[in-house]
Structure 1
């Protein structure tokens, strides 16, 4: 049984300015996106696109900027709507109190999708092409965020067997019983494993939209599994069918990913036939 090390959330104090570890993990996530995004420029089909629609480093920078806005706005609104709608309906101004915490991945994902739609339209590119470009670059950022969760000692796991070698006591949870370090599980599953699988999957030719669809499926499945070990939000607990809110939000995500993957495959298979008929 391990004891949570009680890491100081402040990495560096410079007078009145405090630099938090969580902020550093965000910077790491952004840097990783830029690094991977510039590598994606060398992958097909992006490397072969020429003319006005050619991809460049400037596109990666713009996508990152818009993605950050989407994550912050969507993540906050998602938390308010998915987890505490009644409270924020009666306290609407507190929606803007982002310094009090409260962000939701699924809301952030919707915010990123909206920002990518805007980017695609402004650059006159197919939205699914943009989504395919972005999807493999996202999981490392999610991994960095889980590191921040662990450093902050938040989002701890459910109670674990005392025999579990890596069971960890989180005193801030109000209990001295061992728990699953679910932040580490999510770091490994939704972060590293999803990155490796998606990066390898994207290296081969896929129908346009299938890489993004595979992200929806992969994240949804891995997050659903991780939720079995993560302590549900105290104000929600376990919902119907014994599932947490995180699991319920993953269900439509996986179904949408499967439907999108199949639709993109059928559309791609029919494209050559339509092209010959038109010729």
Structure 2
């Protein structure tokens, strides 16, 4: 009983007392942790994909991995930003901050605002371009890319926490790890939902995808891995959105429907993922052979 009493009397953690900063001050420039998180996720994904294609059944060669690294990076940045503007904040297309050197708000990525769903669309466009250009099996390339996406999700959500942004909803009752974030105008104890997302959308999904790829023969069923990832990320996002505070301009969506914009966007992801998994399991597995690593011809 005394332990319960102590837990109920626990004071929320002050985020500012954790000693975190949003970047590394180099004097002439601040290297943002959010940028480092993107870089870490992309580089780790590139390294792991390079290892994956050395295993039997790879649908591509290293030259194709190099192409995917470049185009998928563009897809993540452009798709993520355009998706955020389209799905969450359309005024970015027409907004300008006249006092700044880069005045068009859409181009001011350092102000924040990237959409996961937009990033997915950007990556799919990039994969389609590389696959068509090199005559690669599109669905199998998607499988191999999907295994590596949780790396970026994990680092990205940790960066959100380090920045003290995208915090959670107010805590009802007492929670030992509840936090007060300095940018919160209400200064109330909230869920550190960034860590929840890092755990579910990042770490847990990362473990699942790595185990399924390396410990099963899922790679030989085109669509199974990307379908599993799509279902997993959709479910994880739906769960964590119950704890994440909606953006100020999207609170009305929650009030009117009971669900956030992110949760509504998760439904089609789960549906599509399940359909792709059924499709993959209904078809016979492929043998899958290595492809040539010879340079493309114009």
**TM-score normalised per structure 1:** 0.87
Give the equivalent residue in structure 1 for 2:258.
Answer: 242
Whole-Å Cα distance in 1 between the matches of residues 124 and 267 of structure 2? 18
Give the equivalent residue in structure 2 for 1:218.
Answer: 232
Structure with greater helix percent: 1
The structure with higher relative contact order (CA 8 Å, sep 6+) is: 2
Verify: 1:177 aligned to 2:188, yes or no. yes
Question: Alpha-carbon deviation of 1:89?
Answer: 5.4
Verify: 1:144 aligned to 2:160, yes or no. no
Does the aligned pair in 1 maintain the 2:92–2:105 contact within 8 Å?
A: yes
Residue in structure 2 matching 1:8, options 15, 21, 37: 21
| SS of the residue 2:248 aligns to | coil
**Which sections of structure 2, spanning at least 5 residues, go unmatched?**
1-11, 97-103, 288-298
Whole-Å Cα distance in 2 between the matches of residues 142 and 131 of structure 1? 17
Alignment of 1:89-238 (within 5 A): 90-91=94-95, 93-203=104-214, 204-206=216-218, 207-237=221-251, 238=254
Does the aligned pair in 1 maintain the 2:93–2:106 contact within 8 Å?
A: no
Residue in structure 2 matching 1:263, options 273, 279, 286: 279
Whole-Å Cα distance in 2 between the matches of residues 27 and 35 of structure 1? 12
Give the equivalent residue in structure 2 for 1:70.
Answer: 75
| SS of the residue 1:243 aligns to | coil
1:118-158 per-position Cα deviation (integer Å, ceiling 9, x unaligned): 11111101101100111111101110011110111100000
| Aligned residue pairs, count | 262
RMSD between aligned residues: 2.0
**Which sits farther off after the overlay, 122-131 or 196-205?**
196-205
Whole-Å Cα distance in 1 between the matches of residues 32 and 106 of structure 2? 22
1:159-178 per-position Cα deviation (integer Å, ceiling 9, x unaligned): 11342111111121112321
| Shift in alpha-carbon separation, 1:59–1:12, aligned structure 2, 3 A | farther
Verify: 1:32 aligned to 2:48, yes or no. no
Does the aligned pair in 2 maintain the 1:25–1:144 contact within 8 Å?
A: yes
Whole-Å Cα distance in 2 between the matches of residues 42 and 229 of structure 1? 40
Whole-Å Cα distance in 1 between the matches of residues 138 and 198 of structure 2? 28
Does the aligned pair in 1 maintain the 2:164–2:182 contact within 8 Å?
A: no
| SS of the residue 1:173 aligns to | coil
Whole-Å Cα distance in 1 between the matches of residues 113 and 33 of structure 2? 17
Whole-Å Cα distance in 1 between the matches of residues 183 and 169 of structure 2? 13
1:221-261 per-position Cα deviation (integer Å, ceiling 9, x unaligned): 01110000000111111154300001011111110111111
Does the aligned pair in 2 maintain the 1:79–1:107 contact within 8 Å?
A: yes
1:206-227 per-position Cα deviation (integer Å, ceiling 9, x unaligned): 3111101111000000111000
Does the aligned pair in 2 maintain the 1:10–1:20 contact within 8 Å?
A: yes
Verify: 1:55 aligned to 2:68, yes or no. no
